[in-house]
Structure 1
Amino acid sequence: MTSTRRLVFCVLLAFLAAIGGVFVGRALLPQPKQPGAALHEVLHHKLALDADQQARLKVLEDRFAVQRRTLELELRAANAHLAQAIEAEHGNGPRVAAAVDQSHTAMGELQKATLAHMFAMRQLLRADQTSQFDDAVVKALTDSQG
Structure 2
Amino acid sequence: MTVRRYALVALVAFAAALAAVLVGRVWLAPEPRVESEVHALLHQRLTLDADQDRRIHALETAFAARRTALESEMRADNERLAAAIAAEHGYGPQVAQAVDRTHHVMGTLQKETLQHIFAMRAVLRPDQARQFDAAVVKALTDPAR
Structure 1 CA distance, aligned partners of 2:139 and 2:42? Answer: 13
How big is the alpha-carbon RMSD for the aligned residues of Structure 1 and Structure 2?
1.2
Specify the alignment match of 1:120 in structure 2.
119
Q: Match of 1:99?
A: 98
Contact 1:35 1:140 in 2 (8 A): no
Q: TM-score, normalised by structure 2?
A: 0.74
SS in 1 for 2:91: coil
Partner of 2:45: 46
Cα shift at 1:35: 3.5
Distance 2:144 2:38 in 1: 13
Q: Which runs of 5+ in 2 are unaligned?
A: 1-31
1:81 deviation in Å? 0.6
Does 2:58 correspond to 1:59?
Answer: yes
Partner of 1:11: none
Letter in 1 for 2:58: V
Correspondence 1:131-142 to 2 at 5 A: 131-142=130-141
The separation in 2 between residues aligned to 1:41 and 1:96, in whole angstroms, is: 38
- Kindly tell me the number of residue pairs found equivalent between the two proteins: 113
Deviations 1:64-84 (A, max 9, x none): 110000000001111111111
> Residue type of the partner of 1:45?
Q
Q: Determine what percentage of the aligned residue pairs are the same residue.
A: 57
Equivalent position SS for 2:124: coil
Q: What secondary structure sits across from 1:104 in the alignment?
A: helix
Tell me by how many angstroms 1:144 deviates.
3.1
Counterpart of 2:85 in structure 1 is: 86
| C-alpha separation in 2, matches of 1:70 and 1:91 | 29
